[in-house]
Amino acid sequence: MKKISVRTSDGQEFELEENLAMESATIKTSLDAFSRDDIILLPNVNSWEMVKIIEFFTKVQELETKFGVKFMEKKEGRFLEAFQAEFDKDLSDDNLYCLLWTVDYLGIEVLLENLCHLMAERTKNKTVESCRNLFGVQHDYTPEEEAEIREDYSWAFEGPEIEE
């Protein structure tokens, strides 16, 4: 299989399998514009991120072989669970931010799906306030809007019933 060469922002070169390279919309666009023998420059991707992306992609291919189905066709829970089990604990929130950004930049849909899932899991089991602190988000609701949110909670539940 043909290898595509890329160079990351810190000057390291990687040889990617063609099928991985073609998953990235950004790389694919570059390849269409230039010859496949050229090295593609990725100024927004550093080598740590590249290593991780190759690792993730290898895992997804492994799972697709194991389960016999393409992830993007069915997006089955078992892919997400297996991916999470393998990678979640070693990724800090900051790591995850960098990878999300990079994978979005490279346009690798299959990895973006999995990373978004990891990210969604991290919003669970927290208070709203700690979500704000974690993600550097400002509390920008007016008191009226907050009241509306409280209503969200109350009517999310079955209405009250009076005991006879």
Partner 1 sequence: MDDTVDWSNLPVELWPLIGEKLKVRIDSLRFRSVCHSWRSCLPRFHPSPPPKFPLPLSDGPTSFLSQNTVYLLQTPSTSSLAPPSCGGWLVKVEECDRMILRNPITSRRIRYSNDSSSPECFNLLEFRMIELGKSYFLRYIQGSGSVVGLKKVILLPPEIVDCAILVMSDKGNLGFARSGDEKLTRFSNGGFVFDDVIVFKGQPYVVDSLGCVFRIDVSSEAMVKISSKVVGFGGRKHLVESCGELYVVDRYFDQEQNKQQGTGVESDFSRFVLWRGGRHQRYQSGEPKVVDFMVYKLELLDGELGRWVEVKSLGDRAFFLAVDCCFSVLAQDLAGYKGNCIYFSNENNVNLALREVTRPESFVFNLEDHSIQKLGSSPGGSQIFWPPPIELGSTCSYSLD
Which residues contact partner 1 (rule: CB under 8 A)?
Answer: 46, 48-49, 76-78, 80-82, 85, 93-95, 97-98, 100-101, 104, 112-113, 116-117, 119-121, 123-132, 135-141, 146, 149-164
37 versus 152: smaller Cβ distance to partner 1: 152
35 versus 125: smaller Cβ distance to partner 1: 125
Closest approach, Cβ 3 to partner 1, in A, equals 26
Rounded Cα distance, 135 and 132, in Å = 5
3 versus 74: smaller Cβ distance to partner 1: 74
Partners of 6 in the β-ladder: 14, 40
Residue 84 φ then ψ, to 5°: -65, -45
Q: In what order do the strands lie in the sheet with 40-42?
A: 13-17, 3-8, 40-42
32 versus 153: smaller Cβ distance to partner 1: 153
Closest approach, Cβ 156 to partner 1, in A, equals 6
Would you tell me how many other CB atoms lie within 10 Å of the CB of residue 56?
21
The structure tokens listed for 160 are: 């009250």
Closest approach, Cβ 6 to partner 1, in A, equals 18
Closest approach, Cβ 42 to partner 1, in A, equals 15
Closest approach, Cβ 49 to partner 1, in A, equals 8
37 versus 129: smaller Cβ distance to partner 1: 129
Residue 91: name the closest of 49, 61, 124, 58 by CA: 49
